Amino acid sequence: MRKALSQKDRRKMPSQERSRFTVEAILDAAVQVFERHGYAAGTTARIAERAGVSVGSLYQYFPNKDAILVALVDQHLAEVQTLAGVVFARAHAADLTLPQALRVIVAGFVDMHALNPQLHRLLSEEVVLPGEAQEKLARLKQSIVEAVGQLLARYGVAEQGSPGLTAYVLVQVADHLTHQLVLHPPVPLTPQQCVDEILLVVLGYLGQTNPFTPPPASPAPPPKECPPADAAETAAR
């Protein structure tokens, strides 16, 4: 079904002034169109129209429809990785309690989604996406799970039973709740309230999971190195 990009990928990377602008217009339009109609039913014609360019121009910059989605994913990845880097660095500040660290992270998630909620929902919920996009997204999510796992480990939250499960569940819950509360809040919510509510879930879960040990930092045994502040950035690779 999917056609390989048989011909040499002669599309130019946007270097010119106008080019860059056009590409962004297309990507912005694509987000809206894909969100409104889904990926399969989002037509290139509509994207071009909404972007204010011709289909021909669209194909000047993207070899095919899939490539637009992939570009969207790449853009998303870059944003998330950048933000995640900052957020995890901040969360690793030596003097934070685990709840404080988690608040930093959850707030970061919410900010991320608030940027472009529709895109996030599309990428994480559209049932079928091109293989390439799906793989990249999976890798991203995996890296975040790992980063969270490391954070938990640092605070001595033992992964009882299934290693990796706790972090996975945490990320799933936080991610999905963020989607829902941002896109379909059952009652009006400020971002702040979103964060609070998600934290209730997250902390409750960890409390139930593991009456974790007091703060880390202190003289006591964080024998482990300190993970590089930008933990997630590496992981995101």
- Please, what is the minimum distance in Å from the beta carbon of residue 119 to DNA? 18
Using CB under 7 A as the binding rule, whether residue 22 contacts DNA is answered as yes
Q: What is the b/e burial string over 7-41, where b = at least 16 CB atoms within 10 angstroms of the residue's CB?
A: eeeeeeeeeeeeeeebbebbbbbbbbbbbeeebee
According to the binding rule CB under 7 A, does residue 226 interact with DNA? Answer: no
Residues 129, 206: Cα–Cα separation, whole Å: 33
The phi and psi torsions of 204 (rounded to 5 degrees) equal -60, -45
Residue 205 or 228 with smaller CB distance to a second copy: 205
Which of positions 62-81 make contact with DNA (CB under 7 A)? 63-66
Residue 197 binds a second copy (CB under 8 A): yes
Nearer to a second copy, 200 or 220 (CB): 200
Q: Residues 5, 20, 41, 226: which binds a second copy (CB under 8 A)? A: 41
Residue 16 touches which of a second copy, DNA, none (CB < 5 to 8 A by kind)? DNA
Options 28, 35, 44, 228; binder of DNA; rule CB under 7 A = 44
Establish if 3 lies at the interface with DNA (CB under 7 A). Answer: yes
CA of residue 122 relative to chain centroid, distance: 12
Footprint of a second copy on 130-189 (CB under 8 A): 145, 161-165, 168-169, 172-173, 176-177, 180-181, 186-187, 189
Distances 124 to 56, 101, 160 between C-alpha atoms, Å:
30, 25, 28
Give the C-alpha separation, 178 to 111, whole Å. 9
Q: 21: which residues sit within 8 A by CB, 6+ positions away?
A: none
The residues of the shown chain that bind DNA, judged by CB under 7 A, are 1, 3, 7, 12, 15-16, 18-19, 22, 41-45, 53-57, 59-61, 63-66
